């Protein structure tokens, strides 16, 4: 399927590894020029080389912390008129609600809610004027169903989801869409790290815990792949998806047990 985004320009945040890199790769395969954002220059360069080898588009990088104003200024200075924005940053640490003070909560809200909203603010008027914009926020299954230990993530991402619901309706008439992709458990540092956290909490061997977890709790019986995640993102960024906005799309191997 031709997604109709050849030659477009994308900012992909949190793109040196994991789900963000999966999104960047899928967009680059559609010949979208991609600016990869992450904090660590070395891993960014490795990702850039890997993605560039598979695409004729221009793949560039910037080492910046997307959760700071300075970082977002630097990103926008390099790519002031993106057609596509993928919002993503590292997730908050898992833990016990009783240990989290104002600092932990404010950090989570800044990193996983406000930063995405501020990037949307910076990009959306230009997208509307040009008559094309696709924004995808990487959130979490924890928006739909609580995950043990992930209260900071549940709270901050629920806030982003609520904010985006109204913004999305405001801009779709200009062919600018905003959707959220909700990962279940994916084969990344974060996904594997969370399973290890759960295993430790139960005093279990990590490998055995993971095997039992997927046998018991996940109909697909496995972690998702970054390639699968990236493909869903690329479709939401396509020219064909202009009638889909404000949606929360779960990619979890059927783990969430609801009908809707």
- Bridge partners (DSSP) of residue 63 are 38
Cβ distance to ligand NAP smaller for residue 42 or 216? 42
Q: Are 118 and 72 in contact (CB under 8 A)?
A: yes
Which is closer to ligand NAP, CB of 13 or CB of 236? 13
Q: Can you give the binding site for ligand NAP, defined by CB under 6 A?
A: 13-20, 37-40, 43, 65-67, 88-91, 138, 140-141, 183, 185-186, 188-191
Min dist. Cβ of residue 5 to ligand NAP (A) = 22
Backbone dihedral region for residue 258 (phi beyond 0: left; psi -120 to 50: alpha; all else: beta): beta
Cβ 18 to ligand NAP shortest distance, Å = 2
CB 246 → ligand NAP: shortest distance, Å?
Answer: 20
The phi, psi pair for 176, rounded to 5°, reads -115, 120
State the nearest-atom distance from the C-beta of 175 to ligand NAP, in Å: 27
Residue 185 Cβ vs ligand NAP, minimum distance, rounded to whole Å: 4
Smaller CB separation from ligand NAP, 55 or 188: 188
Q: Shortest gap between Cβ of 80 and ligand NAP (angstroms)?
A: 18
Between residues 89 and 164, which has the closer beta carbon with respect to ligand NAP? 89
Nearer to ligand NAP, 3 or 23 (CB): 23
Q: Find tokens 């990869």 and name the residue.
A: 36
**Integer-rounded Cα radius of gyration of the chain:** 18
The count of other CB atoms within 10 Å of the CB of residue 123 is: 23
Q: CA geometry: angle at 227 spanning 224 and 230, to 5°?
A: 105
Tokens of 171: 């801009």
3-state class (DSSP) for residue 223 = coil
Nearer to ligand NAP, 8 or 21 (CB): 21
Q: Spell out the alpha helix ranges (H) of 38-150.
A: 41-52, 69-78, 102-109, 115-130
* DSSP, residue by residue, 156-201: HHHHHHHHHHHHHHHHGGGTEEEEEEEE-SBSSHHHHHHHHHHHHH
* Cβ-contact 54, 80 below 8 angstroms: no
Spatial separation of the C-alpha atoms in residues 3 and 196, rounded to whole Å: 37
| Identity of the residue, 175 or 225, whose beta carbon is nearer to ligand NAP in the bound complex | 225
Tell the smallest beta-carbon distance from residue 129 to ligand NAP (Å): 27
């Amino acid at each position: 399927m031709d997604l109709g985004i050849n030659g477009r320009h994308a900012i992909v945040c949190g793109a040196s590894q994991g789900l963000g890199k999966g999104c960047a790769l899928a967009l680059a395969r559609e010949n979208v020029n991609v600016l990869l954002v992450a904090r660590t220059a070395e891993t960014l360069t490795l990702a850039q080389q890997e993605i560039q080898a598979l695409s004729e588009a221009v793949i560039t990088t910037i080492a910046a912390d997307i959760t700071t104003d300075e970082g977002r200024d630097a990103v926008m200075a390099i790519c002031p008129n993106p057609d596509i924005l993928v919002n993503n940053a590292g997730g908050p640490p898992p833990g016990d609600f009783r240990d989290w003070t104002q600092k932990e909560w404010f950090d989570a809200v800044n990193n996983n809610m406000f930063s995405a909203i501020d990037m949307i603010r910076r990009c959306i008027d230009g997208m509307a004027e040009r008559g094309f914009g696709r924004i995808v926020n990487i959130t979490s299954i924890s928006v739909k169903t609580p995950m043990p230990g992930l209260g900071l993530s549940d709270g901050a991402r629920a806030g982003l989801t609520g904010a985006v619901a109204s913004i999305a309706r405001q801009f779709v008439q200009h062919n600018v869409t905003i959707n959220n992709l909700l990962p279940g458990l994916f084969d990344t540092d974060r996904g594997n790290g969370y399973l290890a956290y759960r295993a430790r909490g139960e005093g279990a061997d990590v490998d055995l815990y993971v095997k039992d977890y997927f046998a018991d709790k996940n109909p697909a019986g496995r972690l998702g792949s970054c390639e699968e995640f990236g493909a869903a993102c690329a479709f939401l960024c396509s020219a064909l998806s202009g009638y889909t906005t404000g949606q929360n799309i779960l990619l979890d191997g059927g783990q969430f047990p609801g009908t809707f």
